[in-house]
Structure formats: C-alpha cells, structure tokens
Structure 1
C-alpha cells in the first residue's frame, strides 16, 4: 500500500502458490525504515541471503517431508486395499520395490528435516546445510511422489476431488525451482560454497593471499600452509588405514549394535571425502566451479554423509522398534551407497587420471566397501509400509490426518483402518468365494448364501458388506460432464440404501469385472 508500489497481476504455477509482478515508481523509503538503522544501509543483500539461507532450511524441507509423509500414508493404504489377481497389489515385488523407495525416503526426509530444524533452532545460519536440505529434500519428494504415481496408476491420473496424489505431483516443479533451481544448488552452491565455509584452512589462506601487506601476511600464511599439508597427510594416512580397519569405531555412547557399523563407514567415507576434496581443490583450483559435474558429485558425497548422520541421530531418539529399524537400515544403506558411487564416478571422470587413480587406491584399495540394499530388506520395508507400524503412527502427528470417509485423504485411511479390523474375516471369506463355495452372481448374494450355509453370522455379514462398500468407494475416480464443468455423482452398488418404507433397494450387481478402478 506504500505510495509508488504497484502490485501487478499474478502468475499461475498450478498449485496455490502466490507470486506475481511487483513494480515501483518514484518510491521513497525514509532512512529510519532501514532494518537496523542507517548503519545497516547497503547490507540489505547480505541480510536477504542470510534470511534465505535459514528459510530454505525450513519451508521447503517441511513441504517436501509433509508431501512424502502423506504419500506414504495414502499409497501404503492403497497398496493393501487394492487387489489384483486376488491379492493386494502391495504384495507384488515390482510394487514392493517402489514402495520401499517411498518408505525409506520418507524416513530419510523426516530425519533430515529434524536435524536441520534443530540446528536452525539453536540460532545457526548454516548456508551450506540449508542448501543441502533444500536440494535433497525436494529431490527426495520428487522421487517419492513419482513412485506413488506408479503404484496408484489410473486412480492417480484422473483429476478431481477424489484424487489424493496428483496435486502433489503438479506441485513438484515449484519446489525444485524456487529459492534456487536444484541444478544450480547441486552443481555450484553446495560444494562451491561448502569448500570455503567448511574447510579448516582454505578460507583463511585465500584471505592472506589477498592481504594488503603481503610481507606481513607471509608468516601467518606459511603457518597455515604447513597445517593444511599436515591435515592432508593425516587424511591420507587415515583413509589408507581405514581401508584395512573399516573405519573409526568412534560413536556416541547411546549407539546400539545395529547403528555402530554405520558410524564406522561414515567415519571412513568422511576421511576419504576430505582427501578427495583437497585433491580437487589443489589440482583444479578455481576451475572446480566450472567442472559442475565433478562439483555435483562432491556435493552428493557431502550431502549423503550428512543425511546418513541425520538418520542415525533420528533413530537414536526414536522408539527403536523393529519397523523403524528396517526403515532406518534401508535409508542408511541407500545414502551410503550413493555417496560411495559418487566417489567412483568422480575418480572415473577426473581430468588427471593419475592423481585420481592414486587417491582411489588410497581410499578404496579393495574395491567398494558398501553393497546395494538387498531385495529382502526392500520387501520387509514395503510390507511394513502396509501395516500400522510405529513409524506410520508417528507420521500422523506431523500432517493433516483424518478418517473422514468423504475427505480426499480420509477416504483411503478410513478404509485401511476398517480392513485392519476385519482382514482375517475378509481373507477367509474371499478364499472360500474364490473357490466357488457360494451361490449367486454378486458379492451381496455370496454374502447372503454364506449366511445360509452358516459360514458367517449376521454380524460378520454386515461387516463384510460395509467394508466392501468402503473398498469400492475408495477406488472410484471422479467423472465430469463433457465440458469438465461438473462432478457427477457416482453410484456405489455396494452401499445399502432403503426407501421410505424401509425396503432394501441396493443395486445387486458387481461391476468389478468390467470397471477398472
């Protein structure tokens, strides 16, 4: 509303993300409006960058984590409810592979978000950590939602008020674009800034090289240089020794037997990273910023060591249930394997093959120490995702969770909870039904015949009819008129309806063989 400020028309990125044009003409800002007073005039850009550094560690990781957690809840429920060839689709190994990615990445994102937020809450302004958070959180969300779309399939592509997944999918480009495009973050910012901010000697050395009095700076520079060389030789010796010992046993006292091997490999890869980074900076110098693919791989190593550390911290503060252990194990193995492969890709593409070969030999004389996660572990995590496990229950505290049968997400969750209550009865009935044990053409007729045979009692029949109605309703997609103007009411043949006289008027047909949910 300030004079001269013109708020123009808005853009439409798809999701309700408000942005647009703001123009100014002859705008006058009094000096006493400057934050911090006149002495802070000219420092606005630095303030903006610091605010952005903190903000990108909060808003986008929170958005990415909540999106992934809602995807975990809904896709996990869908995978158990939706059946094909008489079994839940979540039991197929191809679906299990996708679901294991959803589950482990969601666990990683919650752990990641937790550690970054704690650091910011303590007053830190870690620009590199928040750049890591922004990039790897939004990329993690992208993978989770894409896997969810693969699993839910046609149910997820038909737009309308019943679609619980497509809005997340549409919003992905916003998250990976705002506050620094992801390509830029990974290729330039994380290692490019991190090498200056995180290295124990490099920044001070460069400052001394640019000193106004070179003679006065010579002795301090020499001292730093010798410390830097000592640091590099120390990391060289440590990397080579860890190749034989597997890494340092240093770990918190709270570490349990499950986590200790992972602390060890993180300690090893951290020493390898310090040595590899020094090689890149020493041989490429300023050209490292132009070698964006190499810089991106160094960012991957740096980030995934941080991510693995956050997973360990999160697990240490968890209830340490078996389900949480499985989630944490898969997330850890994926992150450490990704970090390891980034090393080998960097060595293979480094301009100086001799230098890269020497460092590779020092760090990995016996080849790759980290193996890919096993199929068995992925299957265990995927099966856990379809259960009401401890991690799943914890997610309900962080997102908009409800069991309203008419809500876009509550519809699936309420049906999932209902299935958990009657699954033994449902499986027993469906097994007999598949064997042709009951007469009739429709599900309702099968239930009625099962009652006559004494296979189920009246209460069980009511439960089966109610769940089947909810199951069918949860699979329906929205339909519109020819102009996509109006949502049309969908008939659920399994819902029990009564007319004014109390007569049952249910539709006694079973369209499940002709209508693909």
Structure 2
C-alpha cells in the first residue's frame, strides 16, 4: 500500500509478486497438510497431544488461505458480508481456545489425569473450527473459487468430529468425583457452604451424598434389594430400627437427604397463592373512569 501511494512501480511489482507467492505457498501448504492430516508438520511434544498441534497447524494454514482469498475476491465488501467475516473470526477463536487448553495443560505439568479435559476441549474446538470453514465454503459468493478452496482445504474430506459420549462421561466423572484434577481446575472458587452461596451448598451436598452412598449400598446388600437413592431419612430410620446401621451412619444418611433435597427442590406455592384476586380501586380512580 505504501509503494502504491508513493507511485513506486518497481517496489509495488516486487511486493505484489511476493504476496502472490505467499498466497500460492499457503494454498500448497493447506493442500499438503489436508492430504496428510497435518502429520508432516512439526509439534513441540511427542505425547498424547502431539496430533493436536499438527491438526492446529493444518487449520491455521486453512485460515491463512481463506483470509487471503476472501480479501482478494471480495475486497472491501468483506466488511459488509458479516457472516463470511464472522466465520473467519470463528475459526481464529476456536484455534485460540485450543491453544489455551494446550498451554494450560503444559503450564500445570502435563498431568495425565487431565487428559480427558484436554481431549474434550481441543476436539470440540477443532470440530467447531472445521465446521466454520465448511459453512464459509458453502456460503462463499463465488462458487468457482469456493470449489477450488474446498479441494485445497479438504482434499480427503473433513477430519474432526465432536467429542464422543464416552469422552463426555469421562469429563463428567472428573467433575463429579473429588480429585486433585477437580480441585486444580476449580481453584479460586468460593465454596464455603452458606445460605447465600448455592455453589458452596451444592459442593457440600456432593460430599455428603458420596459419604452416604456406601452406607446405602450396604443396606441394599443386607436387605437383598436395590433400593432407590431417595428418602434416605426414612431409610435411615428403618435401617437403624433393624440394627443394620448405627446412629452415626443414620445421621450421615439424614444429612445427605437434606442436602440432596435442598439442591434439587424449587420454589413451590399453594394454589391460593397463585389465584388471581379482584383489586378494589380507590374511590377517586373509579370516579375518573366513570367520567
């Protein structure tokens, strides 16, 4: 742009051909990484996250190509085509999120127990980024250019899927069972149980329910029945009367039931509280309406 403004034709030609070469390089790199799934690109590690770095290299090359071609084809109208530019932004945002996940994993010592969280975070981000690229190509106004870019970006089709149900289950288990990983990712939270801190009360309920679970299982084994994990206070009373548990264990079951109900119950109102009632207007208001 400076060369064009200064009417420096030689510098302009030199820079123009450099830029064309850069775009061509991005196209070749994007095609090659798409063909190989990014396996030929470098990665800073050789552990379970290595492929994520390579896949991010591929998507970064895709984004560079899409940005260059979009600017060349659409020019200033790219600003007005907000859905096209927004999808470019989506790709960048998801790559940033994937980078943040990998950086935190590295900063915190690469604990293998954290890997389900890393897998979920990066897989979701890469899937969303690839989906944004696919949507952009489907809606690119120049269909000929869109077809050429699709060949360069997805020579063997799409690669990334959303996290599986099995991985969802692993992540949910980490969040539901106290562990070093759970404590580390939740550090800084205010978890003191108090009337005005529902998160703290929920954490307290989790711990009390977990303490009650082995007692509940033992009662079920003694009775030869699979009893539902509800009405633990009644279960405690009956089990205590039969000598299946002691007073301390009965108290644990009762506290767990209280915390469980406190966590899941919602506000309830009597029918008469919800009924509409006629409103008696003041005398002055009735006179004004009559007039």
TM-score when scaled to structure 2? 0.81
Look up the match of 1:224: 15
* Cα distance, 1:242 vs structure 2: 1.3
* RMSD over equivalenced CA pairs, Å: 2.7
* Cα distance, 1:298 vs structure 2: 0.9
* Cα distance, 1:434 vs structure 2: 9.3
Q: Is the aligned partner of 1:418 residue 2:221?
A: no
Preserved contact between residue 239 and residue 272 of structure 1 (Cα < 8 Å): yes
Look up the match of 2:251: 462
Measured in 2, the distance between the counterparts of 1:318 and 1:281 equals 40
2:121 paired residue among 307, 319, 331: 331
Instruction: Give structure 2 stretches of 5+ with no counterpart.
Output: 275-291
Preserved contact between residue 249 and residue 260 of structure 1 (Cα < 8 Å): no
Flag the structure with more relative contact order, 1 or 2, with Cα contacts below 8 A and sequence separation at least 6. Answer: 1
Distance change >3 Å, CA 449–CA 344, structure 1 → 2:
closer
Distance change >3 Å, CA 445–CA 230, structure 1 → 2:
closer
Higher helix share: 2
1:53-79 deviation line (CA, Å, top 9, x unaligned): xxxxxxxxxxxxxxxxxxxxxxxxxxx
Equivalent residue of 1:409, what SS? helix
1:363-421 deviation line (CA, Å, top 9, x unaligned): 21111122232221112212222112334312443232213366433222112122233
2:108 paired residue among 318, 329, 340: 318
Preserved contact between residue 321 and residue 390 of structure 1 (Cα < 8 Å): no
Measured in 1, the distance between the counterparts of 2:143 and 2:226 equals 69
1:302 paired residue among 58, 67, 92: 92
Equivalent residue of 2:198, what SS? coil
Look up the match of 2:41: 249
* Cα distance, 1:448 vs structure 2: 3.4
* Cα distance, 1:445 vs structure 2: 5.1
1:188-212 deviation line (CA, Å, top 9, x unaligned): xxxxxxxxxxxxxxxxx3x443x2x
Look up the match of 2:151: 361
Measured in 2, the distance between the counterparts of 1:367 and 1:329 equals 22
Distance change >3 Å, CA 436–CA 276, structure 1 → 2:
closer
Look up the match of 1:237: 28
Preserved contact between residue 237 and residue 250 of structure 2 (Cα < 8 Å): yes
1:464-516 deviation line (CA, Å, top 9, x unaligned): 22322332333344568959xxxxxxxxxxxxxxxxxxxxxxxxxxxxxxxxx
Look up the match of 1:488: none
Residue correspondences, number: 268
Alignment of 1:91-240 (within 5 A): 205=1, 207-209=2-4, 211=5, 213-214=6-7, 217-240=8-31
Instruction: Give structure 1 stretches of 5+ with no counterpart.
Output: 1-204, 484-517
1:125-162 deviation line (CA, Å, top 9, x unaligned): xxxxxxxxxxxxxxxxxxxxxxxxxxxxxxxxxxxxxx
Look up the match of 2:54: 264
Q: Which has the larger radius of gyration?
A: 2
Distance change >3 Å, CA 455–CA 336, structure 1 → 2:
same
Measured in 2, the distance between the counterparts of 1:340 and 1:445 equals 53
Look up the match of 2:280: none
Q: Is the aligned partner of 1:474 residue 2:263?
A: yes
Q: Is the aligned partner of 1:279 residue 2:69?
A: yes
Equivalent residue of 1:367, what SS? coil
Look up the match of 2:236: 447
